Amino acid sequence: MSRPSPGAVGVLDRRASIGMDLSKSEGSNKNKFWLEPEEVLAMRTQHGLSEDELLQMLITPAATLARPPISSFHVGAVGLGISGRIYFGVNLEFVRLPLYNSVHAEQFLVVNAIHHQEREIIKLAVSAAPCGHCRQFYSELSCANTIQFMFGKDGHTYTLAQLLPQRFGPADLLDDPSTPLLLQPQNNDLVWSREAEEALQARQGDGHFQDAAASALEQATQSYAPYSRCPAGLAIVTAKGGVYSGSYYESAAFNPSLPPLQSAMVDAVIDGMPCYTAVLEVVLVELRGVLVEHALTTKVFLGQIAPDAKLTILHAQWKERVNE
C-alpha cells in the first residue's frame, strides 16, 4: 500500500489543526460559520498560510457543517470579504421536497455575508466547480466583475466571466443602471397594511411574535427584488424562543432566486438550530395581490419539514400608497 507523501501528510495535519482551531473558536457554533479579521490573521500566522491557502484549507471543515440528507454530498464554500472576515457556506437539502428547494453552499455564503453587512466578496474557495445555478446567482452581485473563484487541486483562480461567458444578468433586465445590486444596501420603503396592524395588535402580548414580525418586515425592506418589485421577508420562531430571519433574493434568470424561507433557514442553521422541527411559527411579510407571492409555497415547504409550525402572513404595502 502506498503511503501519502510527507507534503500530503503536512497538509492533512494542518487541516486537522485548523479544524481544532475552529471548534475552539469562542466556544460557539456561530463562529464556525465566519471568522473575524483578527481570527483570520491569527490562523494565517500560526499555520504559515497565505490568504488563498487558508481559504482552501477551510473548505473541508466548512463542508462538515452541511446538511445534505438526499445526496449525502457535503459542499463547503469559503469566502473572503472586503471587511477581512471569512464566511462559510454549506448546502442544505430538504427531504420530501423537490430538489429545487435546496440551498447551494455558494448561496448560503452570500446570505451569511449579507447578514454581516458585507459589501464585497473578494474571492471564494469551493469544494468543486460552482454549478451553473450558482454562477448565474453570483451574476447579481455588485462585485460580479471582480470576484475570484478557486477550486480544484491546483487552486487555480477564475473570474465569473471565465466561468459564465456572455452571461445574462441584471443589465439585461434593468432599465436603471443605478439600481443597487446584491450585497449593496436595499431600501424598499414598506409599512404595515391596516390588516397587519390589527393582527399585531391582537397579539400584542406575544413578545416572540412581535419580534418575528418586526424582523420579517425589516427583511422585506432589505429584499433584493428588482425584477418583480415584489419584496418579501420572513422570520422563524423556534420552540426555544429564537428568532431567525431572511429576505427574498431574485436572479435575472428567475429560477436561481432564493425564497425568504430558505434565507431564514440559513440564519437558523448558522445559530445552530438542531433540526427543522424546532420551528414553532413562521411569519411571512409580503405584498398583497402581486405577481410573485410566497405564501403557498411556504405553506407546502413547512408542511414537509415542520408540519406542526404555524404560518402567519402579514401584508405590507409601499409607503407612498398608504393614502391611496
CB 147 within 8 A of CB 160: yes
Say if residue 203 is in the same domain as residue 307.
yes
More confident residue, 88 or 24: 88
**143 is annotated as contributing to ligand binding:** no
In a domain? residue 184: no
**104 is annotated as contributing to ligand binding:** yes
In a domain? residue 317: yes
**Interval 31-72: pLDDT, tens:** 589 999 999 999 999 999 999 999 999 999 999 999 999 999
In a domain? residue 180: no
Neighbours of 166 (CB within 10 A): 5
In a domain? residue 183: no
**Which residue, of 139, 171, 203, is where some domain finishes?**
171
Alpha-carbon separation of residue 23 from 27, 29, 96, 292 (angstroms): 7, 8, 32, 41
pLDDT in the model for residue 83: 98
Give the confidence band of 5 by pLDDT, cuts at 50, 70, 90.
very low
Say if residue 81 is in the same domain as residue 160.
yes
pLDDT in the model for residue 20: 59
Q: What is the CATH number of the domain that holds 120?
A: 3.40.140.10
Say if residue 47 is in the same domain as residue 140.
yes
Say if residue 20 is in the same domain as residue 93.
yes
Say if residue 305 is in the same domain as residue 227.
yes
**230 is annotated as contributing to ligand binding:** no
The range of the structural domain enclosing residue 55 comes to 6-171
**Catalytic site includes residue 324:** no
- Parallel, antiparallel, or unpaired for β 148-150 and 157-159? antiparallel
pLDDT in the model for residue 18: 64
In a domain? residue 178: no
Q: What percent of the chain has pLDDT over 70?
A: 89
Say if residue 151 is in the same domain as residue 197.
no
**Interval 162-210: pLDDT, tens:** 999 999 999 999 999 999 999 999 999 999 999 999 999 999 999 999 9
**Interval 221-262: pLDDT, tens:** 999 999 999 999 999 999 999 999 999 999 999 999 999 999
Say if residue 68 is in the same domain as residue 143.
yes
More confident residue, 11 or 179: 179
Q: How many structural domains comprise the chain?
A: 2
Angle between helices 105-115 and 260-270 (to 10 degrees): 80
* Direct distance between the N- and C-terminal alpha carbons of the chain, in angstroms, rounded to an integer: 78
pLDDT in the model for residue 16: 58
In whole angstroms, give the CA distance from residue 176 to residue 63. 39
In whole angstroms, give the CA distance from residue 222 to residue 188. 6
Say if residue 42 is in the same domain as residue 145.
yes
**Which residue, of 171, 201, 234, is where some domain finishes?**
171
Q: Does 153 have pLDDT greater than 80?
A: yes
In a domain? residue 176: no
Neighbours of 168 (CB within 10 A): 13
Give the confidence band of 155 by pLDDT, cuts at 50, 70, 90.
confident
**Interval 96-130: pLDDT, tens:** 999 999 999 999 999 999 999 999 999 999 999 99
Say if residue 14 is in the same domain as residue 159.
yes
Q: Does 1 have pLDDT greater than 60?
A: no
Say if residue 41 is in the same domain as residue 110.
yes
Q: Does 310 have pLDDT greater than 90?
A: yes
The DSSP 8-state label assigned to residue 67 in this structure reads B
In a domain? residue 266: yes
**Which residue, of 138, 171, 204, is where some domain finishes?**
171
In a domain? residue 201: yes
pLDDT in the model for residue 24: 60
Give the confidence band of 9 by pLDDT, cuts at 50, 70, 90.
very low
208-221 average pLDDT score: 99
**275 is annotated as contributing to ligand binding:** no
pLDDT in the model for residue 65: 97
Whole-number average pLDDT of the chain: 93
Say if residue 161 is in the same domain as residue 24.
yes
pLDDT in the model for residue 8: 39
pLDDT in the model for residue 17: 64
**93 is annotated as contributing to ligand binding:** yes
| From 26, 36, 106, 293, active-site residue | 106
Q: Does 28 have pLDDT greater than 70?
A: no
Say if residue 166 is in the same domain as residue 224.
no
Q: Does 321 have pLDDT greater than 90?
A: no
**92 is annotated as contributing to ligand binding:** yes
